[in-house]
A and B are shown apart, each in its own frame.
Chain A
Amino acid sequence: MMSAKDMAKVIIVMLAICFLTKTDGKPIEKRAVSEIQLMHNMSKHLATKARLDWLLKKLQDVHDFISLGDALTAKEGGALRSSKKEDNVLIDIYQKSLGEPDKADVDVLAKAKSQ
């Protein structure tokens, strides 16, 4: 059996650990196992990245759509296409920010959408 002295030692060590790590009641983001931690961080990061890439694509789409609408109305009403140039500049910027490795993601999205 444990003596009272040992018990006291254990309690002091536990308190010291709690004090040093400040784990009292805070939500823990740490996973203790590095592989799992990396997987967690990586998955979270990839999910964020996929979302962001998709969002950029989406915003570009909306611009595309507006310029397409412009083109339609221009054809129908014979209106000036003054804002067209500006749109293209914006689209170019977005296309640049979509790097090469993101193409695959975008392709996947495009496929899923067309279904």
Chain B
Amino acid sequence: VGALTRLCDVLRVLREEQDQCLQELSRDGKGGLGLEMAVVPVTSAVSQSWAVFFSAGCAGLWDNMSCWPSSAPGQTVEVECPRFLRMLTRSRNGSLFRNCTQDGWSETFPRPDLACGVNVNDSSNEKRHAFLLKLKVMYTVGYSSSLVMLLVALSILCAFRRLHCTRNYIHMHLFMSFILRALSNFIKDAVLFSSEDVTYCDAHRVGCKLVMIFFQYCIMANYAWLLVEGIYLHTLLTVSFFSQRKCLQEFVALGWGSPAIFVMSWAITRHFLEDVGCWDINANASIWWVIRGPVILSILINFIFFINILRILMRKLRTQDTGNEINQYKRLAKSTLLLIPLFGVHYIVFAFSPEDAMEVQLFFELALGSFQGLVVAVLYCFLNGEVQLEVQKKWRQWHLQEFPLRLNSSLSNGTSDPTHASSSEQSRGTCRASII
């Protein structure tokens, strides 16, 4: 695993080299052969350099890149490629030359980038940059639309007391985790890719790392709640009697608690073993497994639950023996499509894919996957029959309050008011998991 050479590392090396060179040059000047000498700052547009001028020959020179010892006219001086360039190229050992002429130093030859094997025009870089930016735009659109829909859905589920039941509580937690995932993405983008001081390696403050921990936590919490949905539905279908209320506490612990444990242990190992940058680059695979492992495990478990639930449904539909076969498959397909976003089954597609499919995976999981929250909000809130009923009732109530005249007229007409009738009749037991 090749660790990334960061710009701040390069700059540090360059600063060291400059200091060393200037020290050597001034020592040379002092212990010189009585030649007239002066250290003259040479100021160009953006940088400052120093040259030691002797009365004859070529003075020692720091040309912002390498250190040239003072030399007599007619000589060719060879220096190694500067250390900071060798950092970037790793292997190539080249040399730079200058001739010392009567009029002072000649040009450096060959050109430094060619001599030291630095590739300055990498066209694949531009393509990658365009792809990454496109992805960023797409998932920003996806997450923001998801965020709006989820907020509406969550407030609907919170507002109507009759919708409060274990299944919807779990949905609400899932919505919340989706909201956090979207929000943390925005926060991360704002903190990480804004104005970053790349010149100093220790520029990353605690705040940036805290944001990173929060980001990891939100993502893991989302996976955990997808798993909880899977566990809940699976137990509902396979276990005949279980206390839903008691289960909810355990689910909350699993959904919000377990990610905290993993993320904290990741943060601690990261702090002690790989405290590089803002913790945004995961070069050490074994540390990354602390997060990667549980995520892959939850995807795998959910996939197994998904298959098992489909199996149970298929058996049920067969034994019911209602209608024709096509109808059965239609219902099965419908429930499959409903379950995929709720369980996050699509993650299994690329969970074990090879590295070559990285771009496809990123597109599939980010550009399309960012809409998962929106799909879940639509399927499990807006299209839910109970929710629609409640919203309709509220809407009618509100309308009747707005226009009391109409209420009076409708009552006097003797028609039974549907809102009244149902509100007194319906009990809290309306919540049922309906996946068929």
Contact = CB atoms under 8 A, between A and B. Distances in A.
Interface of A: 17, 20-22, 27-52, 54-56, 58-59, 61-62, 64-66, 68-69, 72-73, 77, 79, 83, 97, 104-105, 108-110, 112-114
Contacts of A83: 107
B46 interface: yes
Interface of B: 1, 4-7, 10-11, 42, 44-49, 51, 63-65, 88, 102-105, 107-108, 111-113, 118, 120-122, 125, 128-129, 132, 135-136, 139, 185, 188, 192-193, 195, 197-200, 215-216, 219, 277-278, 280-282, 285, 288, 291-292, 295-296, 350-355, 358, 361-362, 365-366, 369
14 contacts: A29-B358, A32-B296, A32-B351, A33-B295, A37-B361, A43-B277, A47-B198, A49-B129, A61-B64, A62-B65, A64-B44, A65-B63, A69-B104, A69-B105
Contacts of A41: 128, 132, 362
B321 to A, nearest CB: 31
Given A30-B358, A65-B64, A97-B121, A59 B44 contact: no
Given A43-B277, A54-B7, 15 more contacts: A20-B352, A27-B1, A27-B285, A30-B355, A33-B219, A33-B291, A36-B291, A42-B132, A45-B129, A55-B113, A58-B64, A61-B44, A69-B104, A108-B197, A108-B198
Contacts of A32: 292, 295-296, 351
A79 B44 CA distance: 21
Contact of A56 (B102, B120, B291): B120
Contacts of B49: 65
Contact of B51 (A49, A54, A69): A69
A66 B245 CA distance: 78
B132 A65 contact: no
A34 B365 contact: yes
Q: What secondary structure prevails in chain B residues at the interface with A?
A: mixed
A66 B361 contact: no
A44 B283 CA distance: 10
A64 B426 CA distance: 83
B277 A36 contact: no
A45 B132 contact: yes
B199 A49 contact: no
Given A17-B352, A21-B352, A64-B45, A28 B192 contact: no
Contacts of A28: 285
Nearest to B63: A65
A52 B199 contact: no
Contact of B10 (A30, A37, A51, A113): A51
Contacts of A36: 216, 219, 282, 291
B10 A38 contact: no
A34 B362 contact: yes
Name which of A29, A32, A35 has the most chain B CB atoms within 10 A of its CB.
A35
A34 B288 contact: no
Contact of A31 (B122, B128, B288): B288
B198 A105 contact: yes
Nearest to B120: A56
Contacts of A22: 354
Nearest to B43: A68
Given A59-B113, A65-B49, A45 B291 contact: no
A59 B42 contact: no
Nearest to B135: A38
CB-based closest 3 A-B pairs = A34-B365, A112-B199, A79-B103
Contacts of A35: 185, 215, 219, 366
A54 B47 CA distance: 13
Contacts of A56: 120
Nearest to A29: B355
Nearest to A51: B7
A2 B311 CA distance: 20
Contacts of A20: 352
A113 B354 CA distance: 43
A100 to B, nearest CB: 14
Contacts of A64: 44-45
B88 A55 contact: yes
A47 B219 CA distance: 24
A110 to B, nearest CB: 5
A96 to B, nearest CB: 11
Contacts of A73: 103-104
A84 B343 CA distance: 68
Name which of A32, A46, A66 has the most chain B CB atoms within 10 A of its CB.
A32
Nearest to B292: A32
A43 B281 contact: yes
Nearest to A21: B352
A68 B42 contact: yes
A38 B358 CA distance: 10
A64 B330 CA distance: 73
